[in-house]
Amino acid sequence: MKDSAVLLIDCPDRKGLVARVAGLLYERGANILHADQHQDHELGLFFMRVEWALDGPAEGSAGQADGPTTSPEGFDLEGFKAAFAPMAAELGMRWQLTSGARQPRVALFCSQYLHCMADLLHRWRTGELVCDIPIIVSNHRDVEKLAAFYGIPFAYIEVTAATHNEAAARQLELLESKGVELVVLARYMQILSPALVARYPASIINVHHSFLPAFTGAKPYHAAHARGVKLIGATSHYVTDLLDDGPIIEQDVARISHRDQVEDLVARGRDLERIVLSRAVRWHLDRRILCYGNKTVVFD
């Protein structure tokens, strides 16, 4: 929702965490729209996502008639933040508080395969992906016309063995100048620099044309065909310094048979790539993902 706030929390598990958070929101007059939590019992960790309206509740709305109410001007987000911070410190919470009133700024990267890029841009234009896209970056010019069609600035940054460091510096400078908060690799077939990865922790989403951790590398469909698999898949994940090894966000699979050739696997795999990448981007924009270790919690 545009007029909502989302609080993401992870901390050591203990009794009463849900009551403490919900109680403070109630005291501040929040109209809670969604709440979800998860416990990792093995590690003793607690995760929570709460979303509430920033505008005032409707007159006579359920759960608000006998309790505090939001002011006509709307929910005091800064006041809640100031009240929540001491509680978070007391309970050892890591937390993120964001407002849907502000759209995240997203940069899209790709190389020569345009199916994921075209899908993301269509979903963005139709309002499924709520964000600003200030720049599209590529090491090829194939996507330039597509960027122009959607009215998005395009940056061609050539990447070769000789220019890799220079290209990495230009990419980072460009992203910072555009105020980018999320980078989406829509089949960008280059390894990002450690400096760029460090600048955007858990904020670079990649799609790998394989059901990771199997068949990493540049030609997983060829490897899958050679292995005689009966399922192929695609994986969206956050980028880390280890290639194809970041926290997995989403995966999907399709059944194949001995009759399918490599080109059949590639064609069917492209559909899976579009699906898992768009889901991951949407969930990130909706503030539904928490990372811990090399895993993710994706809230409903």
Known catalytic residues are: 244
d(CA 91, CA 11): 7
Q: How far apart are the first and last CA of the chain?
A: 15
How many Å apart are CA 23 and CA 38, to the nearest integer? 19
Which string of DSSP letters, residue by residue, matches the chain? -TTEEEEEEEEE--TTHHHHHHHHHHHTT-EEEEEEEEEETTTTEEEEEEEEESSPPPTT-TTTTTS----TT---HHHHHHHHHHHHHHHT-EEEEEETTSPPEEEEEE-S--HHHHHHHHHHHTTSS-SEEEEEEESSSTTHHHHHHTT--EEE----TTTHHHHHHHHHHHHHHTT--EEEESS--SPPPHHHHHHSTT-EEEEESSSTTSS-SS-HHHHHHHHT-SEEEEEEEE--SSTT-SPEEEEEEEE--TT--HHHHHHHHHHHHHHHHHHHHHHHHTT-EEEETTEEEE--
Those residues whose C-beta lies under 8 Å from the C-beta of residue 158, and which sit 6 or more positions away, are: 139, 167
d(CA 77, CA 80): 5
